[in-house]
Amino acid sequence: YQQNPKTYTIVKQLLAEGNAGELQKYFGSRMEFGTAGLRAAMGAGISHMNDLTIIQTTQGFCRYLEKNFSDLKKRGVVIGFDARAHLSSGGSSKRFARLAANTFISQGVPVYLFSDIIPTPFVPYTVTHLKLCAGIMVTASHNPKQDNGYKVYWENGAQIISPHDKGISQAIEENQEPWPQAWNDKLIDSSPLLHDPYAMVNKEYFEDIQKQCFYRNINKETNLKFVHTSVHGVGHKFVQLAFKAFDLSPPFAVPEQKDPDPDFPTVKYPNPEEGKGVLTLSFALAEKDGARIILANDPDADRLAVAEKQESGEWKVFSGNELGALLGWWIFTCWKNNSRDTRAIKDVYMLSSTVSSKILRAIALKEGFHFEETLTGFKWMGNRAKQLMDQGKAVLFAFEEAIGYMCCPAVLDKDGVSAAVITAEMASFLATRNLSLSQQLKAVYDEYGFHVTKASYFICHDPKVIQQLFDNLRNFDGKNTYPKSCGRFKVSGIRDLTTGYDSSQPDQKAILPTSTSSQMITFTFANGGVATMRTSGTEPKIKYYSELCAPPGNSDVEQLKKELDELVNALEKHFFQPEKNKLQRKTE
């Protein structure tokens, strides 16, 4: 019996052709449910995102929540979606969100389903704000257009961490047969259990972020012009509202990219991290309208890229680490000068992930607040922030180099909407001091020490090669020995978060949690350099991140950059061995 004629037809066609290879790809293995939830292409079969796999996933999640919350039927869950859609399989974020809502409602669980597209951070915001048991966001963020995803938040408003992923995964395995009314999403429209939080959140979120607005009078007067692009995603309306909440004139929106379009027609990849290619239309509009600053969200508006026109007429696109340094400096300065927060500085915290720049550590040391590093990914920062807040601490800011920023305690995840408007206020304030963002960044580095970073990745589709590459690093000069040097650079410390080894700890055991399912090794070098190699959870990439930190007063930046370039070249040559391992370089 066919429930979705489109996926049914795809499978029927393959059967008729006797195409065993494709059928194996569609039905050979189920999508894995991890801490990031699901992320896969839309299409037929259990290896793809479609009506059936969404129903099965939600049935498992629902049973897992019933087991964990005795008051699930009182509190309920929130579900949001972006604007992704896939014509050939009939899948769309909205359709998936409605099917998920139907699954919960069929079991008597109240569902707060957004009636329209929203930025991802609205889901964790709603979980916290309405004290719900969980949240689901249907989005594939900045992935290619054929992909979709299913992102899960726990009652604390942060993304899930282990062991919840394993528990949910097991529950999905145990609940694969669709429940009686699983496909009939029309049922929810007349259900008293269905609520729409759209109007409430659109009011209260924008009230909450105003606690981070400190220079309303400057915002009203500023002559600074901004360009904003939502890269065919959901961000346009919400960034306009955020500017209004801060009394800033609305940013110029890139007309070709402001409306949601699941085909992302003007970009090769809808990922502002990929740099200038995604910003071509923004540069053109900024030149036309005389704007000096560009703010770019990814399609689900949880991340932010920023570019600024330099004196030379060139555009500088800030790296995630550079914007992290600026926002960290700004948010701390605002807290110190304007905050009505009476907590002592010893109760103030900032966080960043272990592959991000340690600039916050340098600022914290000099100013007297706390800095902590977490594992990679906002799930760790969100969960740690909640723990600290529950102990009465103030968590002012958290960031990761992949252009993710958490600037408001109301959202325990990265939020590109609040980050965009806070960046605009910072730029407007600096303009009254005749400073650009670039000049202020240099001032931050002058005061706290230069931090130069360089990150990239290699693409590798063969898990065996990846495994071998990391095994080689763990058995470099004979069994169980790590490299003592990398070209001319002496290695002074090793932390392996796959095995739990850390040479710098008295008992040689790493402090951060370890995970055998992903690869991650950090090398510290005698020259003060740090480099981390890790596998990606969502893409076939081996990534690396490197940084050189100088103490304040060492202002020879060019020399630092040259030294880091040489370190990275040695890392690629000796540790990655791209020719031998047939690795594909990141193409600019």
**Selected catalytic residue, list 89, 93, 141, 356:** 141
Token pair in block for residue 115: 């009636």
Written as one string, the DSSP assignment of 462-517 is -HHHHHHHHHHHHTTTSTT---SEETTEEEEEEEETTTTEETTSTTSB-SS---TT
Q: Report CA-CA distances (Å) from 538 to 144, 161, 512.
A: 12, 15, 21
Q: Report CA-CA distances (Å) from 374 to 161, 377, 537.
A: 13, 8, 16
What 3-state class would DSSP assign to 418?
A: helix
- State the sign of the Cα–Cα–Cα–Cα dihedral 274, 280, 281, 285: positive
DSSP symbol at 190: G
Q: Do 241 and 270 contact (CB within 8 A), yes or no?
A: no
Per-residue exposure over 229-261, b if at least 16 CB sit within 10 Å of its own CB, e if not: bbbbbbbbbbbbbbbebbbbeebbbbeebbebb
Helix (H), strand (E) at residue 376: none
What 3-state class would DSSP assign to 5?
A: helix
113, β-bridge pairs:
79
- Tell me how long the chain is: 588
Helix (H), strand (E) at residue 488: none
Residue 73 backbone class (left: φ over 0; alpha: ψ -120 to 50; beta: rest): alpha
496, β-bridge pairs:
501, 521
Q: Do 285 and 230 contact (CB within 8 A), yes or no?
A: no
Alpha helices in 107-154 (DSSP H): 122-129
| C-alpha span between 469 and 276 (Å, rounded) | 31
Among residues 6, 2, 44, 9, the alpha carbon closest in space to that of 27 is found at: 44
Active site residue 141: yes
| C-alpha span between 30 and 96 (Å, rounded) | 17
Token pair in block for residue 344: 């002592």
> Looking at the annotation, which residues are catalytic?
141
